[in-house]
């Protein structure tokens, strides 16, 4: 896993700390010339609203990375529920086979 970006409950807004983390990740990823990365977004609470929030989170992180020069193909997964360890209000940035 390259990074975990935390979000406030039921929000898809990037805070200052999240942007700083994404800036660091984007710089790292852009320099590596990766073919693909994955975003796995989670939102707590369950139900269809949680999936919508998690998808919105994944898309905002994807857009931010693209704006920062990441040229890799970015796969997006949106999940409700707790997503296991690491808290439920987050987006995991995963680099396959790294």
Segment 57-66, tens digit of pLDDT: 999 999 999 9
Query: pTM higher than 0.75, yes or no?
Result: yes
| Inter-residue long-range contacts of 56-62, CB under 8 Å, 24+ positions, other chains counted | 56/12, 57/7, 57/12, 57/91, 58/91, 59/12, 60/12, 60/13, 60/14, 61/5, 61/14, 61/22, 61/91, 61/93
Would you state the pLDDT for residue 34? 87
Structure tokens that stand for 46 in this block:
């369950």
User: Does a structural domain hold residue 95?
Assistant: no
User: Does a structural domain hold residue 62?
Assistant: yes
Give CA–CA dist 52/12, Å, rounded: 10
Evaluate whether 53 touches 96 at the Cβ level (below 8 Å): no
Full domain range(s) for residue 19: 3-25+35-89
CATH code at position 44? 3.30.1330.60
Sheet with 3-6, side-by-side order of all strands = 3-6, 90-94, 36-43, 73-80
How many independent structural domains does the chain possess? 1
User: Does a structural domain hold residue 98?
Assistant: no
pLDDT in tens, 12-43: 999 999 999 999 999 988 878 889 999 999 99
């Amino acid at each position: 896993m390259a990074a975990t970006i935390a979000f406030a409950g039921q929000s898809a807004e990037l805070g200052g700390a999240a942007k700083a983390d994404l800036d660091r990740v984007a710089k790292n990823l852009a320099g590596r010339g990766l073919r693909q990365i994955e975003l796995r977004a989670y939102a707590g609470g369950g139900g269809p609203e949680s999936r919508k929030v998690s998808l919105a989170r994944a898309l905002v992180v994807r857009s931010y990375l693209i704006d920062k020069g990441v040229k890799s193909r970015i796969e997006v997964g949106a999940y409700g529920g707790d997503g296991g360890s690491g808290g439920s209000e987050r987006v995991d940035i995963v680099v396959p086979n790294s």
